């Protein structure tokens, strides 16, 4: 008989996105003697987080080893496999991380398999524009049918909660961070800038997946104008994603390759933020935009789109602009920081706003133990 509770964390995939980073950070700060996580993912794949997950007593459990064909048979296979997995593991709590209401189908199956307590967190605030009408209709129907399945309904922002739950009650669960890791350090800044050979450059940076919502094409168009006005400007893009190759091609086509650096996703984001001069965040939509909060924790100026939830406005370091505005307004905002600024410690402001991950984990532990006993 185990003395701890195993919580199923249902995540589409263990890639390099914000959801994966968030949940693995939860795992690091919960009491390992009382709670352990199983990461339930749709298919088997290698992950940057695999070693960390195992070190902290977690398990990665794929629903199927290989993605089946996109057909009714393929979906049925995944649903049956998920049902068997849940019955086998006998979870008392599964926490679903939803960037789509299609997750509700799996929640319904979990309930059929006997899971008494289902939690869900809404992580996005919009439907992808690539989603066709039948899928949008299915998404709306699933929301209506299954939203009441959940014992706890969380959202990373009001916008994300309203999108997934509508008028239904939900709690804001702040996407906490390890605040002290991001605290600005001049020595770390110089070390990273030396390693990347960007000591004398005005560094505009972004950390995020190369997907539609992050708006990388806008970043490149913007940087091409900045470069004409500021010869030592440099763009640093960190992350992976399906659009990365097309963005690299755009950079090459615009002859900017000597002034743009692409880095793979890393778990050392807190170090890289020290090296930036401005964090560029022109997302088309976000559930929250935790990267903007991490940037502020590093005392970094943030130039963001007004599509980002205003919960990110924790300090005076962040400023918002419309994506419909003339690019010159964005250029002026970014270049206004080219001569440097004082990077004062923002730790207490971040904590006071409720984004210390220790506080988040304390509350989650209470809920997991209460419903998983």
Q: Is residue 347 over pLDDT 90?
A: yes
340 and 284 part of one domain: yes
Res. 265 pLDDT band, cuts 50 70 90: confident
Strand, coil or helix: 267: coil
245 and 148 part of one domain: no
Q: Which helix (H) or strand (E) holds 153?
A: strand 152-155
DSSP state of 30: S
Q: Is residue 1 over pLDDT 60?
A: no
Q: pLDDT value at position 259?
A: 98
160 and 47 part of one domain: yes
Ranges 12-26, 40-54, 117-131, 315-329, most confident: 315-329
Res. 68 pLDDT band, cuts 50 70 90: low
254 and 328 part of one domain: yes
Q: Is residue 193 over pLDDT 70?
A: yes
Q: Is residue 63 over pLDDT 80?
A: yes
- Taking alpha carbons only, the member of 89, 100, 81 closest to residue 11 is 100
99 and 218 part of one domain: no
Determine the average pLDDT of the residues in 326-331: 96
If you average pLDDT over every residue of the chain, what do you get?
Answer: 92
- Taking alpha carbons only, the member of 103, 47, 105 closest to residue 76 is 105
Determine the average pLDDT of the residues in 238-260: 97
Higher pLDDT, 106 or 168: 106
Helices 133-146 and 103-112: crossing angle in degrees, nearest 10, is 40
Number of domains in the chain: 2
Q: Is residue 366 over pLDDT 60?
A: yes
Determine the average pLDDT of the residues in 239-251: 96
184 and 172 part of one domain: no
Question: For residue 246, is it left (φ>0), alpha (ψ between -120 and 50) or beta?
Answer: alpha
204 and 157 part of one domain: no
- Taking alpha carbons only, the member of 242, 239, 238 closest to residue 205 is 238
204 and 170 part of one domain: no
Whole-angstrom Cα distance, residue 117 to residue 95? 9
Q: Is residue 101 over pLDDT 80?
A: no
334 and 365 part of one domain: no
Q: Which long-range contacts (CB under 8 A, 24 or more apart) does 316-324 make?
A: 317/346, 318/292, 323/215, 323/218, 323/282, 323/284
Q: pLDDT value at position 15?
A: 78
* Domain assignment of residue 46, given as a range: 5-176+357-372
Determine the average pLDDT of the residues in 165-183: 91
Determine the average pLDDT of the residues in 96-114: 89
Res. 16 pLDDT band, cuts 50 70 90: confident
246 and 105 part of one domain: no
Q: Is residue 129 over pLDDT 90?
A: no
CATH number for the domain harbouring residue 277: 3.40.50.2000
160 and 240 part of one domain: no
How far is C-alpha 158 from the chain's CA centre? 16
Res. 289 pLDDT band, cuts 50 70 90: very high
Res. 306 pLDDT band, cuts 50 70 90: very high
74 and 98 part of one domain: yes
Minimum mean pLDDT among 10-19, 184-193, 288-297: which range? 10-19
């Amino acid at each position: 008989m185990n003395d701890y509770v195993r919580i199923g964390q249902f995540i589409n995939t263990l890639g390099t996105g914000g959801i994966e980073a968030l949940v693995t950070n939860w795992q690091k700060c919960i009491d390992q003697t009382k709670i352990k996580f199983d990461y339930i993912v749709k298919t088997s794949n290698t992950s940057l987080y695999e070693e960390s997950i195992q070190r902290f007593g977690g398990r990665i459990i794929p629903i199927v080893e290989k993605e089946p064909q996109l057909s009714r048979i393929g979906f049925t296979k995944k649903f049956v496999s998920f049902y068997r997995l849940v019955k086998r593991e006998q979870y008392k709590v599964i926490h679903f991380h939803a960037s789509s209401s299609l997750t509700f189908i799996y929640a319904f199956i979990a309930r059929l398999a006997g899971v008494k307590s289902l939690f869900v967190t809404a992580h996005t605030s919009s439907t992808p524009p690539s989603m066709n009408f039948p899928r949008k209709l299915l998404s709306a129907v699933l929301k209506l049918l299954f939203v009441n399945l959940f014992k706890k309904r969380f959202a990373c922002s009001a916008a994300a909660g309203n999108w997934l739950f509508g008028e239904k009650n939900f709690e804001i669960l702040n996407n906490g961070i390890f605040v002290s890791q991001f605290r600005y350090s001049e020595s770390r800044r110089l070390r990273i800038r030396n390693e990347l050979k960007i000591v004398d450059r005005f560094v505009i940076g972004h950390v995020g997946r190369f997907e539609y919502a992050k708006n990388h094409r806008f970043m490149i168009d913007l940087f091409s104008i900045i470069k004409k006005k500021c010869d030592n400007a440099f763009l640093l893009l960190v992350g992976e994603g399906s659009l990365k190759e097309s963005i690299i091609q755009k950079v090459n086509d615009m002859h900017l390759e000597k002034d743009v650096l692409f880095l793979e996703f890393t778990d050392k984001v807190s170090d890289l933020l020290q090296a930036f001069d401005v964090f560029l965040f022109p997302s088309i939509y976000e559930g929250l935009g935790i990267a903007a909060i991490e940037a502020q924790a590093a005392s970094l100026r943030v130039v963001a789109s007004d599509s980002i939830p205003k919960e990110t406005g924790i300090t005076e370091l962040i400023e918002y602009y419309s994506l419909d505005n003339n690019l010159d307004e964005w250029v002026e905002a970014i270049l206004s920081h080219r001569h440097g600024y004082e990077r004062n410690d923002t730790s207490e402001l971040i904590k006071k706003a409720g984004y210390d991950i220790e506080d988040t984990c304390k509350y989650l532990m209470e809920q997991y133990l209460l419903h998983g006993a």
